[in-house]
């Protein structure tokens, strides 16, 4: 069955519209994928968004063909050369394998939706999504049975599930519950790494040692504790590194856990049949590319194609792919990371009305400035992101001599960037500031200045 690239003339055009919505995801078992695919297609067909997706698909297809050509052009000598390069690299990577740490990845179950249900128990048992008609952030498990899921526009979700209840996002609420969960995490690893409001990585090596407990026992205890403190369930994965722990936490979701022992054989067996899409960092495009250009579907096949991967990809990409094949991941203590940029963006119905666009930009400059002042930040690289009526995204950036943070300064430079693009019909404008490492030392002075000014 050569289904991959057939276009719309097969009688089932929706099969060639590749969305992310039908991917295997917790709670999506037993969903009528064909039906979901067809409805998503029918709701999307003909829209500007759809046309843009087709353009992107075509571009990726081209990229894949280029790669296939490159592969075909490799001589036997090239192939044996790159195989040697790959074999050497695999040995080097293997030598970095560290099986001494036990990592745990916690992932709250349908977090936003669960929090909303907690504060409004009448939602219990009903299909519900947090988000709006234009976009859904999270769907509860009742809704997922209809094929409704995160990142799906609300109007399509409602078509899939007419009785779907929509609840608007309320980050304050989620932050509050997130803080409660983090207090629990603290007890198991004071240096835990928060990946988002609802996810964290914990190095539980010491906790296991101190409590004379296995990783699985610690995971049970932690999940119970999170439930007691918040009334929310979570899932956990335990493994020898962060990459594997994250894959594991998805296996028995929701309200479950999975332990991968710190044993090379166990890791290799686990990895061997694992679809590459399960790995964090491998998304729709990379999956597509690796499948169609190399025939790679599982992590094990990364190793079987190691020579080709080294021949066609950059050093860092190839290293990542080989690491995936070996089941390697970071085990080191997380470094304290400072935020690198701060941004604000708004979507509106597409327009080329310049007065309107400048007003939107002024609003964004003001919002951005307020956020920067709140955090005591200033920056010198200003980036304007524009999304045209046809969903094409452009970014325009300037790096300034001076660090700025006032809405006047932001607006002054952002307006210049916007002006150069006119006339244009837009549906989104974003303003972002970055690169303030030097300037963060001046935080106190900025705060003072701000206090003085107001």
Chain positions contacting DNA, by CB under 7 A? 40, 43-44, 47-50, 56, 59-60, 133-135, 137, 150-153, 155-156, 158, 195-199, 279-287, 313-317, 337, 339-347, 349, 371, 381, 393-399, 427-428, 430, 432, 434-435
- The Cα 250–Cα 107 span in angstroms is 8
Annotated catalytic residue 375: no
d(CA 234, CA 200): 11
Measured CA to CA, the distance from residue 46 to residue 414 in angstroms comes to: 33
Q: Which is nearer to DNA, 60 or 79 (CB)?
A: 60
As measured in angstroms, the least distance from the Cβ of 255 to DNA is 17
Instruction: Using the structure block, give the residue that is written with the tokens 């590319």.
Output: 289
407-419 helix and 354-375 helix, angle to the nearest 10 degrees: 140
Q: How far apart are CA 13 and CA 52, in angstroms?
A: 17
CA dihedral (175, 179, 180, 183) in degrees, to 10, reads 170
CB of 364 to DNA, least distance (A): 8
Least distance (Å) between residue 44 CB and DNA: 3
From the list 420, 375, 377, the residue with the least C-alpha distance to 397 is 420
Do 90 and 322 form a contact (C-beta atoms < 8 A)? yes
Of 313 and 358, the one with the shorter C-beta distance to DNA is 313
According to DSSP, the β-strands at 103-108 and 199-203 are antiparallel
Catalytic residue among 5, 54, 94, 199, which?
A: 199
- Phi and psi of 24, rounded to 5°? -55, 125
Phi, psi angles (nearest 5°) of residue 13 = -60, -30
How wide is the angle at C-alpha 280 spanned by C-alphas 18 and 225, nearest 5°?
120
- Residue 406 tokens read as 């006032």
Residue among 207 and 232 whose Cβ is closer to DNA: 232
How many separate helices (H) and strands (E) can be counted in the chain? 18, 12
CA torsion, ordered 231, 234, 240, 244, to nearest 10 deg: -160
Pick the closest to residue 388 from 431, 352, 358, 355 (CA basis).
352
Please give the positions annotated as active site: 199
């Amino acid at each position: 069955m050569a289904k991959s690239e057939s276009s719309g003339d097969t009688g089932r055009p929706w099969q060639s519209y590749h969305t992310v919505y039908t991917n295997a995801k917790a709670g999506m078992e037993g969903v009528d994928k064909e039906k979901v695919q067809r409805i998503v297609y029918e709701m999307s067909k003909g829209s500007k968004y759809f046309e843009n997706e087709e353009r992107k698909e075509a571009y990726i297809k081209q990229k894949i063909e280029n790669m296939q050509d490159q592969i075909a052009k490799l001589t036997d000598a090239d192939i044996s050369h790159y195989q040697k390069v790959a074999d050497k690299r695999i040995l080097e990577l293997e030598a970095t394998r560290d099986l001494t740490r036990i990592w745990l990845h916690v992932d709250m179950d349908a977090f936003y939706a669960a929090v909303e249900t907690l504060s409004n128990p009448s939602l219990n048992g009903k299909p519900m999504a947090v988000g709006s008609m234009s976009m859904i952030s999270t769907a509860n498990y009742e809704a997922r049975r209809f094929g409704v899921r995160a990142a799906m526009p609300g109007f399509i979700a409602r078509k899939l599930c007419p009785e779907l209840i929509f609840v608007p996002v309320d980050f304050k609420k989620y932050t509050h519950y997130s803080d409660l969960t983090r207090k629990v995490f603290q007890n198991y690893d004071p240096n835990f790494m928060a990946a988002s409001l609802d996810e964290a990585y914990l190095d539980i090596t010491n906790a296991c040692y101190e409590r004379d407990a296995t990783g699985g026992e610690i995971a049970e205890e932690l999940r119970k504790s999170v439930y007691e403190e918040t009334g929310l369930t979570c899932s956990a994965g335990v493994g020898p590194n962060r990459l594997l722990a994250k894959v594991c936490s998805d296996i028995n979701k929701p309200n479950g856990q999975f332990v991968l022992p710190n044993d090379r054989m166990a890791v290799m067996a686990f990895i061997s049949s694992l679809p590459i899409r399960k790995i964090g960092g491998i998304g729709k495009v990379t999956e597509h590319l690796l499948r169609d250009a190399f025939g790679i579907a599982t992590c094990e096949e990364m190793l079987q194609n190691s020579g080709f991967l080294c021949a066609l990809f950059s050093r860092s990409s190839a290293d990542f792919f080989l690491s995936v094949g070996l089941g390697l991941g970071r085990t080191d203590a997380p470094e304290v990371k400072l935020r690198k940029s701060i941004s604000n963006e708004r979507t509106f119905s597409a327009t080329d009305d310049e007065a309107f666009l400048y007003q939107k930009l002024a609003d964004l400059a003001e919002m951005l400035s307020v956020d920067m002042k709140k955090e005591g930040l200033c920056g010198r690289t200003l980036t304007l992101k524009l999304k045209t009526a046809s969903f094409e995204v452009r970014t325009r950036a300037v790096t300034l001599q001076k660090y700025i943070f006032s809405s006047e300064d932001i607006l002054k430079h952002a307006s210049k960037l916007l002006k150069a693009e006119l006339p244009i019909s837009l549906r989104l404008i974003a303003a972002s500031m970055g690169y303030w490492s030097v300037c963060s030392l001046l935080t106190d002075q900025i705060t003072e200045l701000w206090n003085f000014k107001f």
